[in-house]
Amino acid sequence: MVVNIKNLVKRYNELLAVDNVSLSIKEGEIFGLLGPNGAGKTTLINTILGLTRFDEGSIEIFEKDFKKHEYDIKKEIGIVPQDLAIFEDLTAYENVDYFGRLYGLKGNLLKERIEEALNFTGLQERKKDFPKKFSGGMKRRLNIACAIMHHPKLIIMDEPTVGIDPQSRKMILESVKKLNKMGSTVIYTSHYMEEVEEICSNITIIDHGRIIAKGTKEELKAMIAFEERVTIQLSAISFNLVDDIKKIDGVKECLLQENELLVVSVRGAGNLSRIIDEVGGKGIEIKGLNIEKPTLEGIFLILTGRSLRD
C-alpha cells in the first residue's frame, strides 16, 4: 500500500473536518478524492503530508508510520498544492532549480531533471520568463514541474485545474495520466466529477469530512444503476409537487432544485406517465425532460440531496 489511513479524525475546534476516514491507496493507482468545496479534501491531504496535525487515527505512507519516518517519506512525495507555491521573482527555470536543490539534486542530474520537467509541462520555451508574465494555467504547470522533477513515487494534486484555461486543463489531465504510466501513484482531488471520471481508477467521494462512497467508477455507477432517473424542467413549481410525486408507486426520491425536478424510481417502475400527469395536473408546463444515465454527480446527488457544485 502507498497510503493506508485508519480512522482519521481532525477537528478545528467544534468543526469535524475529517470524520473517521479510513482509506487505502495501492501502488499505480490514480486515486480520485471527489467532494464539494469545504468537504475536507485539503484538510485530509494536509494531514497525509504532515502539514496539519490530526486528533485521532493513523497514517502509513509507503508502509511506514508517517510521524516516525517523515523525512524519508517526504522525499518520495511531490505535492501540487491548491494555492500556488512558486516564486514570482525567480524565472521558471530558477523555480524548478530551487525545488530540485531542496530535494538534494545537483550537478548534471539536476540540470537534466529541470529540462525534463520544463519539457514535460510545455514550458521549455518560457524558461527564462518570470511567472508574473504567465497565465494561471502556466503558473499551475510550473507548479507541477517543481513537484515532479525529483521523480516522486507519490504525487498529490489538490484541485490543480481550478480557475485555469481549457488548454492548460487538458494538458494537466494528460500529464497526470502520463506520470501515472511512468510509475507514479497519484492522489487527485477535485470537485469536478467529469475530471475524476476521466482519469481516476479509484474514487472516494467525501462530504462533510466523511466518506460517503468509494470504489471504481464502474462500481460507483453500479450503485445507482438499479435505479431509473428522470429530470424534468418545469415552467413553475407548486407547493405540494414533491410530496405528491413521492407518493407515486416506485418513486424512491424526488428532489427539486430551482425549476428542475429529479425523480429517482426503482428499475422497471413504469411510472413516467404518472409523474408527467402529476406535474400536468398542477397546471405546470414541462419545458424539458431527460432520462439520465448514471454519473458520479448523480451518485453525489442521491447520497446527499445536493449537487457537487452547490
Ligand X SMILES: Nc1ncnc2c1ncn2[C@@H]1O[C@H](COP(=O)(O)OP(=O)(O)OP(=O)(O)O)[C@@H](O)[C@H]1O
Under the rule (CB under 6 A), what is the footprint of ligand X? 12, 15, 17, 35, 37-43, 82, 159, 191
Residue 41 or 127: the one with the smaller Cβ distance to ligand X is 41
Residue 127 or 191: the one with the smaller Cβ distance to ligand X is 191
Whether 109 contacts 54, CB under 8 Å: no
Residue 43 or 202: the one with the smaller Cβ distance to ligand X is 43
Residue 173 or 256: the one with the smaller Cβ distance to ligand X is 173
Residue 193 Cβ vs ligand X, minimum distance, rounded to whole Å: 14
Residue 57 Cβ vs ligand X, minimum distance, rounded to whole Å: 16
DSSP one-letter string for 15-73? EEEEEEEEEEE-TT-EEEEE--TTSSHHHHHHHHTTSS--SEEEEEETTEETTTSHHHH
Provide Rg for the chain, Cα atoms: 23
Q: What contacts 108, CB < 8 A, 6 or more positions away?
A: none
Residue 188 Cβ vs ligand X, minimum distance, rounded to whole Å: 13
Euclidean distance between CA atoms 53 and 57, whole angstroms: 11
Pairing status of strand 185-190 against strand 154-158: parallel
Hey, what's the cell of 6? 485508519
Q: Which residue do the cell numbers 405546470 mark?
A: 284
DSSP element (H, E) containing 190: strand 185-190
Residue 143 Cβ vs ligand X, minimum distance, rounded to whole Å: 16
Residue 191 or 214: the one with the smaller Cβ distance to ligand X is 191
Residue 37 Cβ vs ligand X, minimum distance, rounded to whole Å: 3
Euclidean distance between CA atoms 284 and 234, whole angstroms: 7
Euclidean distance between CA atoms 161 and 188, whole angstroms: 10
Residue 229 Cβ vs ligand X, minimum distance, rounded to whole Å: 26
Q: In Å, what is the CA distance from 82 to each residue of 90, 156, 195, 207? A: 20, 10, 16, 18
Residue 8 Cβ vs ligand X, minimum distance, rounded to whole Å: 12
Residue 35 or 294: the one with the smaller Cβ distance to ligand X is 35
Whether 216 contacts 202, CB under 8 Å: yes
Residue 159 or 278: the one with the smaller Cβ distance to ligand X is 159
